[in-house]
Homo-oligomer: A and B are copies of this chain.
Amino acid sequence: MSKLVIVGTVAFDAIETPFGKTDKILGGAATFIALAASHFQVDGAIVSVVGGDFPQADIDMLSSKGMDVSGLQIVKDGKTFFWAGKYHNDMNSRETLVTELNVLADFNPVVPSAYLDAEVVMLGNLHPLVQLSVIEQMIDPKLIVLDTMNFWMDNALEDLKLVISKVDVITINDEEARQLTGEFSLVVAAQKIIEMGPKYVIIKKGEHGALLFHRDEVFYAPALPLEKVFDPTGAGDTFAGGFTGYLTKTEDYSFENMKTAIINGSALASFCVEKFGTERLLELSKKELHQRLQQFKNLTQFDIGLT
């Protein structure tokens, strides 16, 4: 079976939405990526760092999902990364209330030796140089997927460009794609990003779905129209985890199979937003996922008709 290396934060989040608020709960990019990928029973490893305040029960939970946690460093006298945020009424904009880097400030990622030959690497949002360090440790990965955000474009653009030049797939949201390239048209923006290195560009458009670009091909994955988005936290990471988890499981990194991987990622993300934090992902059944994939299929199928 192929192996998946997951790099990203393991964190505490405190979330406020129009529907309620939480105390510190389990969060972080690597957490969401791992939980999403685990729905495909992949052999994954989490590369991250937490403080002595991080519950052993959460580590055990990740382990029980088939994740190797030997690359999850525990800094006993340190504190876990903490983020607090508030979503506004339309759920499309959010305000960061608190960011405490804590142990993340000195994070030096170490990929467990048993995973240095992993086929797939998912680089969750982190400082580009941390992401780069992981790439450099890997022996011969078949697929490196990068997630990033505008913060690094503002604060570490040259480092970010270096990482981008070394990955196969980048996931980025529409505004970030525009910022990175200075192009308004997402088609042109994607072309420019492909010139920077990645063979595949996934542009995430939130409630409007996602676009996958490769050479002159494009695929449009819809988002499921939802009555209510309860908490968007982790949706992008869940998408990335579903995408890489599916590819790792199927060992097929073609454009055609990436379409299916994106739909699986979108389906998992559509569950993620139904409850706070990781709650919905943790209780999600195989049957529910299958039904939702069928909903995505029904949502988009049509005949072209007469002509």
Could you list which residues of chain A lie within 8 angstroms of chain B, going by C-beta atoms? 40, 89-91, 184-188, 205, 207-209, 211, 218-222, 225-229, 246, 249-250, 257, 259-264, 286, 289-290, 293-294, 296-297, 299-307
Contact = CB atoms under 8 A, between A and B. Distances in A.
26 contacts: A89-B184, A90-B184, A91-B184, A185-B228, A187-B225, A187-B226, A205-B208, A209-B222, A218-B225, A219-B299, A219-B300, A220-B300, A222-B300, A246-B305, A246-B306, A250-B305, A250-B306, A260-B302, A260-B304, A262-B302, A263-B305, A289-B307, A290-B307, A293-B305, A297-B304, A300-B302
Contacts of A286: 307
Contacts of A185: 226-229
A188 B301 CA distance: 23
A220 B299 contact: yes
A281 to B, nearest CB: 15
A159 B114 CA distance: 70
A221 B220 CA distance: 10
A121 B300 CA distance: 27
A250 B305 CA distance: 9
B225 A186 contact: yes
A226 to B, nearest CB: 6
B90 A306 contact: no
Contacts of A187: 225-227
A14 to B, nearest CB: 24
A260 B305 contact: yes
A213 to B, nearest CB: 8
